[in-house]
A and B are shown apart, each in its own frame.
Chain A
Amino acid sequence: MSIPQNLRYTKEHEWARIEDSVATSGLSDHAQEALGDVVFVELPEVGAQVKAGAPFAVVESVKAVSDIYAPVSGEVLAVNEALEEHPELVNSDCYGQGWIARIRIEGDTVELLDPVAYATFLEE
């Protein structure tokens, strides 16, 4: 199970990389493994306002439909359009080419765990 040191994590198994008030977000390795093969990703609209802790994207595996929750509140600056043609990137490179969206942080965030706390949370 990969938990990169430079990221923060939500209890819903999203990751966030925060740089200059912008959060890049995707699904954690634990999440993609639990989901299984991702065959469809519904991305938010660029420019949309998202709310921390509220669903802002959807991933579908072969069997299941799962909401992805925004780790922060703010405006969607960019989405990973490559996922429309290649949703499997969420499985093969969840922290890299499988990123989902970039959000300008405006206001609150959900509780973000550091890698050690997230690892502990997964063990619980």
Chain B
Amino acid sequence: MSENPLTESTLLHTPLFDRHVALGGKIVPFAGYAMPVQYPTGALKEYHATRNDGCAGLFDISHMGQVRVQGADALRFLQFVTTNDVARLIDGQVQYSALLNRAGTFIDDITTYRIHADHYYLCINAANRAKDVAHLTEQAADFDIFITDESDGTTLLALQGEAAERLLQALTPTDLTAIDYYHFVQCPLSNANTTAIISRTGYTGEDGFELYLANGAATTVWDALLEAGASPIGLAARDLLRAEMGYALYGHEISDAVTPVEAKLMWITNMNKGNFIGRSAVVTRKSSGREKALIALKLTARGIPRQHYPVLVDGQLSGEITSGLYSPLTKGGVALAYVAPNHANDGAITVEIRGKQVAAERTTTPFVRSRVKKPQQ
């Protein structure tokens, strides 16, 4: 076997870095940070420690960025720079959204938290942070708002799994059962003498929460949740859990090479709310037709599809895998892929793995059941 040596010289540390090392985490570079890819139990056990009943996984995702937007024009500004309809949010609600450039392609995908009508909180991808903040700052010139990049002072934890609510409830007097999916509260955490934003959100398809804390409270809350029975989860299991739900990831399904039309993200792109950056390009793309189609597929023979593997339809090269994995629940290879638009629904699919054609068929996402707590419609 061959190994790639890793360098850690210039990597940033989250406030929990020493905890990851003490737990025996295997540290790798990720988006400029030194992060645990897995702990000694291994990625598959971590995966099951998030999916199984009675379990909850604890993730340090402090590498992600947070930006506060405040001021009289905050709503008007966010309507202009994000794709989703921010006017639909009420206080304490979260929205999945995106930042587009003028070409209509993605700068980033984000979540928007409405704290008050003139006060919002954005969670952004670590790898895009500098680009996002520069873009937001540039666009802010004509608006009565101020923008604060709070990323360096903020710890972000995710607690995901069937037991998440029970474990977290021991740390706060706030009734967590009252927080609906994609809603949040700002509440005290009793053991850390701090206030946190706690949202019922996540990236695993399980019920659970994301906690935004001041860095000073990070180790106290981390230790308390592990003590309560949560399992630490590294990046490898996080990506399995993410991809098995078919959730998009920047750099895979989403990038500055595709618009929401290709990425199947028109559901977070509101064309009726008024003008926003990238809107006219999206209108054009909608009328001219998508350049490629994002599809979900599963292998019908043995093998694991991986990012960038060629996808063939009726023997002709049609596109490539964007995210692929061995799905522990379906016990097979599943993937998202971009293919030519005329192959979205028709034609026999194969994935080329090390020069061989492996049969696949179209399917739908999520690849496995979702257990997020969506309110009754």
Contact = CB atoms under 8 A, between A and B. Distances in A.
Interface residues of B, number: 21
Contacts of A84: 302
Given A37-B43, A39-B44, A63 B236 contact: yes
A62 B44 contact: yes
A118 interface: no
B240 interface: yes
A40 B303 contact: yes
Nearest to B47: A62
Contacts of B325: 62
Interface in B288-337: 302-304, 306, 325-326
A31 B326 contact: no
| Max chain B Cβ within 10 angstroms of own Cβ: one of A13, A62, A91 | A62
A61 B239 CA distance: 13
B202 interface: no
Contacts of B37: 63
Nearest to A32: B1
B2 A62 contact: no
A63 B43 contact: yes
Chief secondary structure at chain B's binding surface: mixed
Interface residues of A, number: 25
Interface in A32-71: 34-37, 39-40, 42, 58-63, 65-69
A108 interface: no
A93 interface: no
B38 interface: yes
Contacts of A13: 1
A84 B304 CA distance: 13
A90 to B, nearest CB: 11
A66 to B, nearest CB: 4
A69 B43 CA distance: 25
| Max chain B Cβ within 10 angstroms of own Cβ: one of A12, A39, A42, A67 | A39
B1 A68 contact: yes
B304 to A, nearest CB: 5
A89 interface: no
Contacts of B326: 39-40, 60, 62
B354 interface: yes
Nearest to B239: A63
A63 B42 CA distance: 11
Contacts of B42: 36-37, 91
A27 interface: yes
Contacts of A35: 1
Contacts of B239: 63
Given A12-B2, A37-B42, 12 more contacts: A12-B1, A14-B1, A27-B1, A31-B1, A36-B38, A37-B44, A40-B302, A60-B304, A62-B240, A63-B37, A69-B1, A84-B302
24 contacts: A12-B1, A13-B1, A34-B1, A36-B43, A37-B43, A37-B45, A39-B44, A39-B326, A40-B302, A40-B304, A40-B326, A42-B354, A60-B326, A62-B44, A62-B236, A62-B237, A62-B240, A62-B325, A63-B37, A63-B43, A65-B304, A65-B306, A66-B1, A84-B302
Closest 9 CB pairs of A and B: A39-B326, A62-B43, A37-B44, A66-B1, A37-B42, A63-B236, A31-B1, A62-B236, A40-B304
